[in-house]
Structure formats: structure tokens, C-alpha cells
Amino acid sequence: MKKLIVILLLAVTGYFMVISFMDLGKDGPVVKNGVKDFYLDKTVSELKVANTITSIVVNFRGFDTLGEVTVLFLAATALGGILYKKRHHVGERSVLFPSSTIVKAGSKLLFPAIILLGVYVFVHGHLSPGGGFQGGTIIATGFLLMLLAYDNFSVSHKVLSYIESFAGIFFVLFGLSGMFMGKTFLENFMPVGNLNDLFSGGIIPIIYILVGFKVAAELTGLIYTVLNEKE
């Protein structure tokens, strides 16, 4: 009976939703002369970037991305602060049983392929779907695979924090160097090149590579902290 009422309610709301969406877009786009046309126009003509979303995220709204990176950094720091404990044996995790030879050999072969895919995704952020955040996450999954397969695999927190800090510092420095060239913070100041070239788009690929390094280091450190947690 309960389920019947739920289904009926869902059907009624769905009907009214469909009815109200029917009229949308009948006489042209809903937002006329909005900021959308500006983005679509400038991305190809001025920035020579194939991926519009990347140009919005990194160039037009680069300041937001800086905030996003900061939020991720703060989340990783907070989780590390909660889970951190002084341990006697660093790098030894409590495992129920060691993983089998098949998993060990397979992950050894898969690890470079995953790293390569992650690097590809963030290097081609301005040409194809993806970008720094996605590529960094893919790299972190590669480290997760190695950490699950080998119980003595360890990553150095020191190296990770250096990578993370330098990536963040260079992100801000690139923004500031735009100001020295007489433009605004995080505005493009480098030659844009041709459409669909790997070396094109001004500062977009450089900033996405930095973001990729930063996200990969952050998430790897996060996974390592969570896996090392002991009862």
C-alpha cells in the first residue's frame, strides 16, 4: 500500500514536471544575449581552445578554480589532521591476508598504464574532455592499486607535500605574472598558437598540469593516510 502511494505520488509529480518542461525552449533559448554567447565566441576566436569548459574553468573563471583547489587542499589537510596518529612502524599496514601473485604481477603492469592515462588526460585538458582534476584522480587510483596490492608499498609524505606546495605556489605565481604583464589576475598572457595543437591555449595547459600534479599528490596522500589508519 505504501509503495503504491509512493508510485502514484511520483507519477503525479513526474506528469506535472513533464508538462511544465514542454514549453521550455519553444521560442528560442531561455537566456538571450547571456554570458554563454560570450564564452562560445571568445573560446575559439581568441583563445584557440577546443574545449570550451576548460577555457571557462581555467581562463575566464580561473579565480574560482584557485578557490576550488584551496577547498580540496583544506579538505585533505583536515582529514589528515583527524586521522593522523603517531606510529612506531611507519609503512606497515594491518592486512587480513596478503594479496595473491596474480594481483601483484597484474598491478605492476597496470600501474604505468594508469599513470600514463592520467598524464594524458591532464596534458590534453584543453583539447579533449578531462583536465587537471580528472587526470590527478586517475593517477591517485593508480597509487591506490599499488597500495592495495603490495602491503609494503609506501609513498613519502614529504615528497607529496613538496609537490603539492610547489604546484599551488606556481599556480598563484602564474596568476601574478599576468598582472606584471599588464593584465588581470590569471588572464592569458602567453601566445595562443593554433586551434587543436598540443602547444596552444596560452597558460591553460600549464595551469592544468599544475592542477593535475596538485590533485594527484593530495588524493594519494589522503588514500595513504586512510589506509595506514590502525585500530
Partner 1 sequence: MSLLEIIGGIFILVGSVFLFLGGLGIFRMPDVYNRLQAGTKATTLGAMSVILGVGISQAATDWTWILKTLVIVIFIAYSNPISSHALARAMYKRKKFPLVKSKAENMDAYREIIETEKEEVKS
- Residues engaged in binding partner 1 (CB under 8 A): 96-97, 99-100, 102-103, 106-107, 109-110, 113
Query: Residue 124 or 214: which CB sits closer to partner 1?
Result: 124
DSSP tag of 97: S
Q: Between the CA of residue 44 and those of 51, 52, 65, 86, 100, what are the distances in Å?
A: 9, 8, 21, 53, 51
Q: How far is the CB of 37 from partner 1 (least distance, A)?
A: 32
Q: How far is the CB of 120 from partner 1 (least distance, A)?
A: 12
Query: Residue 3 or 89: which CB sits closer to partner 1?
Result: 3
Q: How far is the CB of 106 from partner 1 (least distance, A)?
A: 4
Round to whole Å and give the CA distance between 193 and 198: 9
Query: Residue 120 or 170: which CB sits closer to partner 1?
Result: 120
Q: How far is the CB of 40 from partner 1 (least distance, A)?
A: 27
- Give the angle subtended at the CA of 204 by the CAs of 53 and 170, to the nearest 5°: 130
Query: Residue 70 or 100: which CB sits closer to partner 1?
Result: 100
Query: Residue 99 or 137: which CB sits closer to partner 1?
Result: 99
Q: Kindly write down the DSSP assignment for every residue of 70-120, as one continuous string.
A: HHHHHHHHHHHHHH----SSTT----SSPPPHHHHHHHHHHHHHHHHHHHH
Q: How far is the CB of 94 from partner 1 (least distance, A)?
A: 15
Q: Nearest-CA neighbor of 45 among 182, 37, 122?
A: 37
